[in-house]
């Protein structure tokens, strides 16, 4: 049991990666839409390249969206609306007319005129309310049929038969002229306008209910295909009815009700494919990026981003599949490249696109566009911390999307007139969403403790609070750090290492000297040496402690771990040689471990470069009469000594790269000392 627990503890990193791998596989399979996957790509307008296709089961042929839209338009156009007639309005209006009549017309009217006016008012009001009076809101064609409902009875009439409120004045004027009552025109018009009100109203709920019922009766199919019937033969052009029949078969195949056994097999298939894709990503990281593979946080970050992109795409597809290109998938290679490198970014992007190819429509077109866009992203983006570069890259990505989509549409349709400009808008929105990569990288830095070029650029500013403090307390050390940073950056550029990272590491590698600055020669401004009154062992401990002090200071100031790594490793496990020799001269036998830096050894190209540049720059101050040969021998001696002590065994730097670094250091030191070529006499 004890051995089992020990093995479990020793292999905890491996167990975590297995757990992460299985968890990511489960999550992706869980969020994938479940159902059958049609095994053929339908080549619209091109020959059928597969074998003869026979119907695997009976299915109905779906109507094209244009046909259904035309039928819906015809139903809406010919639909008869409903209006309600309220019989109680006429009685109320007549009572109002009777009441207002006595107030408008004087008692001095002759009896015959009084009877004539009353008869006119009664006749006209009856005619108005028999026809129906409507306050028109939605104008209709005069000859359009409508249903006029009174109680349970419905009458079909033309729309022009109903009197509209805005037609009442003309109607009254015409009737007054016919009855020869022009002398009472104003009084009669005023009487009617003060008393009448509409008795017909549009019944929108009944109209819409009836329309919905008719729309629901539309048949979305036209004909059917029996099992075993040939659908398309090899070499036939896929267009017209054949295209619609194939689309109908695909829709039926992907939407049919699956039995529990079929569903389980679909899950097994998805699991195996996702398992293989994610396994390839894990194996790639293990083989070509072993330093990342050893870091569980970095592996988690990569798998988290893959799962996040799959989740976003699935959510958009479930909402509306037409918006699938709005998902800024190129954020993935941008992010991975920003934190790691372009090769890993492209490989991760391709794996993610392959996963999404299972669930998106027109999967070949989608994968082609996304992979090409990912390649363009990797090839064009450089120095992501520069805003102009990001905008240029996003513009190039959007342009590649548009050009690729245009080419696919022309191939499929054979005409530029079928290009959907709305899709171009989706590409533009996706490009704008890609700009979100900068705040996303910042969030990832805080969440996963990673560091990007943008953060390195901020840290490389010599006006930061920590570097200003170093300049004030230890000006010699600050000047030394600037020189080392320049040397290290040039060397890193020579061997294609991360020059920004090594420059930042060089600027901060000696911040531990701020606690005891006068114990380091570069900060001694007088002839008094603080070490003169100390034993060699005590002096060595003070010198060695600047590494520990630097690590503590860096952690207090929240410097990233990748920068702290330079503080830890810039002396490796070398010895404080001057005080070691002094102790041997004074005491004879000494314990060398008391004079040795705690390490660890440099474990990357960048940390190895800093060790070389730091040692060479510090020791170069002792050169009294520099010549080209002296500098060459001097650089060779220092770096060869480090190699002999095995200081670079854990870093992935090669002998050729070390020789290139030597060459850069020699050239830079000669420039610093302003050496000229010695011409023969």
What's the pLDDT tens digit per position in 50-72?
778 888 777 788 887 788 888 88
227, exposed or middle or buried, with CB in 10 Å at 0-12, 13-18, 19+? exposed
CB atoms within 10 A of CB 653: 21
pLDDT value at 259 more than 60: no
Range of lowest pLDDT (60-64, 212-216, 372-376, 634-638): 60-64
CATH annotation of 453-672: 1.10.3210
**343 or 533, which is more confident:** 343
Q: What pLDDT shows up at residue 241?
A: 79
The burial of 626, by beta-carbon neighbours within 10 Å (0-12 exposed, 13-18 middle, 19 or more buried), is given as: middle
Q: Which two tokens stand for residue 625?
A: 């009469």
Q: Is the peptide bond before 662 cis (omega within 30 degrees of 0)?
A: no
Q: What is the mean pLDDT of residues 266-295?
A: 90
- List the single range of 155-169, 268-282, 555-569 with lowest mean pLDDT: 155-169
Predicted local confidence at residue 199, as pLDDT? 85
Residue 599 φ/ψ region, left for φ over 0, alpha for ψ in the -120 to 50 degree band, beta for the rest: left
pLDDT of residue 679: 44
Please identify which residue in the block is written with the tokens 């001095």.
Answer: 108
> pLDDT category, 108, cuts 50, 70, 90?
low
Distances, alpha carbon 319 to alpha carbons 313, 314, 315, 322, in Å: 10, 9, 6, 9
Considering only residues 449 and 344, tell me which one the structure prediction assigns the higher pLDDT.
344
Least confident of 180-194, 314-328, 628-642: 180-194
Q: Which pLDDT does position 676 carry in this prediction?
A: 47
SS3 category, 615: helix
What three-state secondary structure class fits 597? coil
45: left (phi over 0), alpha (psi -120 to 50) or beta: left
Instruction: Identify the band that residue 354 occupies on the pLDDT scale cut at 50, 70 and 90.
Output: very high
Q: Is the pLDDT of residue 249 over 80?
A: no
Q: Which two tokens stand for residue 392?
A: 């240029």
Better-predicted residue by pLDDT, 521 or 528: 521
| Cα–Cα distance, 549 to 293 (Å, whole number) | 30
Domain ranges of the chain: 2-35+260-448, 82-202, 453-672
Flag whether pLDDT at 674 surpasses 70: no
- Which neighbouring-strand residues pair with 230? 54
537, pLDDT greater than 80: yes
Higher per-residue pLDDT: 622 or 642: 642
Q: How confident is the model at residue 257 (pLDDT cuts 50, 70, 90)?
A: very low
174-178, 587-591, 603-607: lowest mean pLDDT where? Answer: 587-591
Inform me whether the pLDDT recorded for 109 exceeds 70.
Answer: no
Angle between the N-to-C axes of helices 605-620 and 655-672, in degrees from 0 to 180, rounded to the nearest 10: 30
Average pLDDT taken over every residue of the chain: 84
pLDDT above 80 (res 49): no
Q: What percent of the chain has pLDDT over 90?
A: 29
Q: What are phi and psi of 150, to 5 degrees?
A: -125, 105
> What's the whole-number mean pLDDT along residues 267-282?
91
Residue 488's pLDDT is: 94
Query: Would you state the pLDDT for residue 39?
Result: 66
* Joined tokens for residue 304: 């988290």
Torsion of CA 610, 616, 617, 622, to 10 degrees: 160
Cα→Cα distances 642→482, 503, 574, 637, Å: 22, 21, 8, 9
536, pLDDT greater than 80:
yes
Percent of the chain with pLDDT over 70: 92
Pairing of β 163-164 and β 133-134? parallel
| DSSP assignment string, 176-228 | HHHHT-GGGHHHHHHHHHHH----EEE-HHHHHHHHHHHHHT--SEEEEE-TT
Of 674 and 354, which is predicted with more confidence? 354
């Amino acid at each position: 049991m004890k051995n089992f627990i020990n093995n479990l503890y020793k292999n905890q990193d491996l167990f975590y990666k297995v757990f992460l791998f299985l968890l990511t596989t489960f999550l992706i399979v869980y969020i994938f839409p479940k159902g059958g996957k049609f095994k053929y790509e339908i080549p619209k307008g091109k020959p059928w390249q597969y074998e003869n296709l026979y119907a695997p089961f009976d299915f109905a042929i779906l109507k094209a969206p244009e046909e259904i839209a035309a039928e819906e338009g015809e139903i809406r156009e010919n639909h008869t609306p409903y209006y309600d007639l309220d019989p109680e309005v006429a009685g109320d209006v007549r009572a109002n007319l009777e009441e207002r009549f006595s107030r408008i017309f004087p008692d001095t009217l002759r009896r015959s005129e009084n009877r004539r006016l009353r008869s006119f008012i009664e006749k006209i009001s009856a005619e108005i309310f028999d026809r129906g009076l409507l306050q028109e809101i939605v104008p209709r064609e005069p000859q359009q049929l409508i249903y006029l409902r009174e109680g349970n009875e419905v009458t079909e009439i033309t729309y022009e038969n109903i009197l509209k409120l805005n037609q009442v004045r003309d109607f009254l004027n015409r009737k007054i002229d016919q009855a020869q009552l022009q002398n009472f025109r104003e009084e009669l018009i005023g009487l009617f306008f003060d008393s009448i009100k509409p008795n017909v109203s549009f019944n929108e709920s009944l109209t819409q209910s009836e329309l919905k019922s008719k729309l629901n009766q539309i048949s979305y199919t036209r004909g059917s295909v029996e099992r075993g019937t040939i659908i398309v033969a090899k070499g036939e052009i896929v267009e017209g009815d054949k295209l619609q029949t194939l689309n109908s078969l695909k829709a039926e195949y992907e939407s049919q009700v699956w039995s529990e056994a079929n569903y389980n097999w679909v899950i097994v298939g998805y699991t195996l494919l996702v398992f293989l894709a994610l396994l390839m990503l894990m194996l790639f990281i293990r083989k070509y990026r072993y330093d990342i593979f050893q870091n569980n946080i970095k592996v988690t970050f990569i798998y988290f981003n893959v799962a996040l992109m799959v989740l976003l795409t699935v959510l958009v597809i479930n909402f509306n599949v037409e918006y699938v290109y709005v998902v800024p998938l190129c954020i993935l290679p941008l992010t991975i490249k920003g934190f790691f490198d372009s090769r890993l970014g492209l490989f991760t992007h391709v794996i993610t696109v392959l996963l999404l190819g299972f669930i998106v429509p027109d999967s070949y077109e989608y994968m082609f566009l996304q992979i090409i866009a990912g390649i363009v992203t990797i090839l064009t983006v450089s120095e992501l911390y520069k805003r102009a570069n990001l905008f240029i890259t996003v513009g190039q990505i959007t342009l590649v999307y548009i050009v690729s989509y245009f080419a696919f549409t022309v191939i499929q349709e054979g005409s530029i007139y079928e290009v959907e400009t709305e899709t171009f808008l989706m590409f533009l929105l996706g490009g704008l969403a890609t700009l979100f990569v900068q705040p996303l990288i910042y969030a990832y830095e805080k969440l996963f403790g990673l560091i990007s070029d943008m953060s390195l650029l901020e840290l490389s500013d010599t006006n930061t609070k920590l570097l200003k403090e170093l300049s004030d307390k230890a000006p010699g050390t600050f000047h030394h750090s600037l020189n080392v940073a320049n040397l290290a950056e040039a060397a890193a550029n020579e061997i294609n290492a991360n020059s920004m990272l090594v420059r930042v590491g060089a600027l901060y590698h000696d911040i531990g000297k701020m606690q005891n600055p006068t114990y380091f020669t570069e900060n001694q401004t007088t002839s008094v040496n603080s070490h003169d009154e100390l034993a060699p062992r005590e002096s060595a401990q003070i010198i060695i402690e600047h590494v520990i002090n630097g690590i503590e200071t860096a952690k207090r100031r929240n410097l990233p771990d990748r920068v702290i790594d330079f503080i830890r490793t810039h002396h490796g496990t070398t010895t404080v040689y001057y005080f070691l020799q002094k102790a041997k001269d004074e005491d004879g036998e000494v314990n060398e471990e008391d004079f040795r830096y705690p390490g660890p050894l440099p474990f990357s190209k960048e940390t190895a470069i800093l060790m070389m540049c730091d040692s060479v720059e510090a020791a170069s101050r002792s050169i009294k009469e520099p010549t080209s040969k002296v500098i060459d021998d001097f650089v060779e001696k220092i770096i060869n000594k480090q190699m002999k002590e095995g200081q670079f065994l854990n870093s992935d730097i090669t002998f050729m790269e070390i020789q290139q670094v030597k060459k850069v250091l020699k050239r830079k030191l000669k420039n610093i000392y302003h050496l000229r070529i010695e011409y023969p006499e």
